[in-house]
Amino acid sequence: MIPFVQNQTVILHPAGARRLMKLRLQSRERSDRKCVGVAGRGPCYAVIGDSCRHAISTDDWALMSVILIVEDEIFIRQAAEWTIEDLGHNTLVACDLAEALLHLSTSQPIDALFVDIRLSALALGGYDVANQAVALRPGLRVLYTSGTPLATLMSDAFVRGGQFLQKPYSPAQLEFSVGELLH
């Protein structure tokens, strides 16, 4: 059995949740099961070896966002998805305008759009995605990306408040840009 510290603070992002929970752990052994409940919906236990810790939620909440990623290059899309999910956000993915509109036409909350300006079918398809997304969901935050350096003509076509991230970008640059976009 592994010993543990009482009243330790941890961060827990329950699967499917839109909120990040800050939890204070209290010692409580459970030898009959490894994990019970889901954070925010009852007791939650963090598994440490064969013992568990009982997590008591505090009032510290941080809103997690749903971000729609529209990128036609599968490897870039997947890397962006993993980076954004590692930040604790939920992601939706699309490779073109039609797939993006499928997500945008549902009632599912979407807090931000991360879109490549140059989609394969349309040279400036990212602008179309952003314009239609904002028309469907006013106030949607938009982060554009492109391998082409930002020029005045490009930024003039952005939706109001649109931001830009130059390709190629590192996970740290994407993390920073997403943080700026959401705050």
What tens digit of pLDDT does each residue of 128-171 get?
999 999 999 999 999 999 999 999 999 999 999 999 999 999 99
Residue 122, pLDDT score:
74
Residue 160 tokens, joined: 């109001």
Would 23 be classed as within a structural domain?
A: yes
* Number of separate domains in the chain: 2
Would 1 be classed as within a structural domain?
A: no
> In terms of Cα–Cα distance, which of 81, 42, 50, 70 is closest to 142?
70
pLDDT at 23 over 90: no
Confidence class of residue 7 from pLDDT cuts 50, 70 and 90? very low
Say what the alpha-carbon torsion angle 33, 39, 41, 43 is, to the nearest 10 degrees: 40
Position 69: which residue type? Answer: I
Residue 135, pLDDT score:
97
According to DSSP H, which parts of the chain are helical? 74-86, 97-104, 125-136, 152-156, 171-182
Question: Are residues 95 and 25 part of one domain?
Answer: no
Report DSSP letters for 25-74, one per residue.
Answer: EEE---SS-S--S-TTSS-EEEEETTEEEEEEEEEEEEE--EEEEE-SSH
DSSP 4: -
User: Other C-beta atoms within 10 Å of 89: how many?
Assistant: 21
Would 73 be classed as within a structural domain?
A: yes
Question: Are residues 100 and 52 part of one domain?
Answer: no
Which residue range is the domain that position 118 belongs to?
66-182
Confidence class of residue 33 from pLDDT cuts 50, 70 and 90? very low
Q: How far apart are CA 8 and CA 48, in angstroms?
A: 14
Tell me how far the alpha carbon of residue 3 is from its chain's centroid. 34
Question: Are residues 76 and 164 part of one domain?
Answer: yes
Residue 44 tokens, joined: 């939650």
Of 46, 63, 80, which one is at a domain's C-terminal end? 63
